[in-house]
């Protein structure tokens, strides 16, 4: 008797539409993403697509497509902007395929060792946006009690910003796909995003789905002790800095318990 593989069950893909979309755009997107998910070997628990057509005639890429997929409890997300909605959906399928592949490789590399975040802990090296004020621990008692080192995701600022938004982070540390620069994207208000890089290249930031500015200043070169001083002097929730030993972009941040957390690239 021949063994038969278990058929892949693709869940209903929820498609949300905003703006004046071309007729059939929702079904086109549903079909494209469904075809992609049929190749996923693990249970797909949830899938959602959001299509947005802006009305601003000055927008170079008015069609925005976003997708979020839950693969057996792990999240894959993608966001693109294009001149037409059909083009945006095609690009979304390609980009989501890349995210799913990265998710699969990451899971295989860390199988059985995935962290289980608790209250006040980090996931994927990013800071939750809505967090209680940290405990007012005296400065002389504060220590780096959590040091997280991981391979930074190689993605576009748009993808990094989308991940930051969908996960509710206040910022996200990543490697810019176009420049290879260690970068951090963070909120500057209710809707604004800002990008900082080890070697700023504002002229290489392409069109983004959400307004984004680029800091023209390079982050300070500091050791961890200097980063602590900088963090306390600025009063900000985190400081992005270039480590004096490695030359890589690091983040030092305030934890809920009044201590510090440190994020460093693993490679």
Looking at the chain, which runs of residues are DSSP E strands? 14-18, 44-53, 63-71, 74-82, 126-128, 144-150, 154-155, 169-176, 182-187, 193-197, 212-214, 221-222, 238-243, 249-254, 260-265
Together in a domain, 156 and 255: yes
Q: In which domain, by residue range, is 137 found? A: 126-265
Together in a domain, 134 and 231: yes
Q: Considering the domain boundaries, does residue 168 fall inside one?
A: yes
In a 3-state reduction of DSSP, which class is residue 223?
Answer: coil
Together in a domain, 106 and 132: no
pLDDT for 189 beyond 90: no
Q: Considering the domain boundaries, does residue 4 fall inside one?
A: no
Together in a domain, 147 and 239: yes
pLDDT single digits (tens) 30-51:
999 999 998 888 888 888 898 9
Q: Which two tokens stand for residue 213?
A: 């500015």
| Choice between 223 and 2, residue whose per-residue pLDDT is larger | 223
Together in a domain, 161 and 253: yes
Instruction: Among 75, 110, 145, identify where a domain stops.
Output: 110
206 contact partners, CB below 8 Å, separation of at least 6: 156, 178
Q: What is d(CA 249, CA 38) in angstroms, rounded to the nearest whole number?
A: 38
Q: Which two tokens stand for residue 199?
A: 């070697």
Together in a domain, 105 and 22: yes
Together in a domain, 254 and 140: yes
Instruction: Among 110, 141, 158, identify where a domain stops.
Output: 110
Together in a domain, 69 and 199: no
Q: Considering the domain boundaries, does residue 92 fall inside one?
A: yes
Question: Which residue do the tokens 């200043």 mark?
Answer: 217
Between the CA of residue 69 and those of 12, 13, 109, 124, 142, what are the distances in Å? 11, 9, 20, 16, 38
Together in a domain, 192 and 226: yes
Give the count of domains, the chain.
Answer: 2
Q: Which two tokens stand for residue 172?
A: 């996200």
**pLDDT value of position 174:** 93
DSSP state of 174: E
Residues in the chain, how many?
Answer: 267
Considering the entire predicted model, what is its pTM? 0.55
**pLDDT value of position 113:** 43
Q: Considering the domain boundaries, does residue 39 fall inside one?
A: yes
Instruction: Indicate the pLDDT class of residue 190, thresholds 50, 70 and 90.
Output: low
**pLDDT value of position 107:** 52
**pLDDT value of position 209:** 67
185 contact partners, CB below 8 Å, separation of at least 6: 157, 160, 161, 164, 171, 172, 174, 193, 194, 195, 196, 212
Instruction: Indicate the pLDDT class of residue 168, thresholds 50, 70 and 90.
Output: low
Together in a domain, 140 and 257: yes
**pLDDT value of position 4:** 46
In a 3-state reduction of DSSP, which class is residue 116?
Answer: coil
């Amino acid at each position: 008797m021949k063994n038969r593989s278990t058929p892949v069950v693709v869940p209903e893909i929820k498609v949300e539409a905003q703006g004046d979309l071309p007729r059939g755009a929702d079904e086109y997107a549903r079909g494209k993403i469904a075809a992609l998910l049929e190749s996923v070997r693990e249970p797909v628990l949830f899938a959602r697509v959001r299509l947005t057509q802006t009305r601003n005639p000055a927008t170079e890429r008015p069609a925005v497509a976003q997708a979020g997929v839950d693969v057996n409890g792990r999240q894959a997300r993608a966001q693109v902007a294009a001149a037409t909605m059909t083009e945006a959906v095609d690009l979304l399928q390609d980009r989501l395929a890349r995210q799913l592949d990265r998710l699969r490789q990451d899971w295989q590399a860390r199988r059985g060792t995935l962290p289980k975040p608790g209250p006040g802990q980090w996931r994927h090296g990013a800071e939750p946006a809505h967090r209680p004020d940290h405990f007012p621990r005296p400065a002389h008692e504060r220590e780096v009690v959590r040091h997280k080192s991981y391979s930074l995701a190689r993605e576009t600022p748009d993808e990094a910003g989308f991940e930051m938004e969908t996960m509710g982070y206040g910022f996200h540390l990543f490697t810019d796909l176009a420049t290879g620069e260690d970068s951090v994207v963070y909120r500057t208000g209710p809707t604004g995003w800002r990008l900082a890089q080890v070697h700023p290249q504002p002229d290489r930031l392409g069109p983004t789905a959400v307004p984004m500015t680029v800091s023209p200043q390079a982050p300070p070169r500091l050791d961890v002790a200097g980063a602590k001083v900088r963090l306390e002097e600025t009063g900000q929730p985190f400081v992005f800095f270039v480590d004096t030993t490695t030359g890589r972009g690091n983040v030092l941040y305030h934890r809920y318990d009044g201590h510090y957390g440190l994020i460093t690239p693993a490679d």
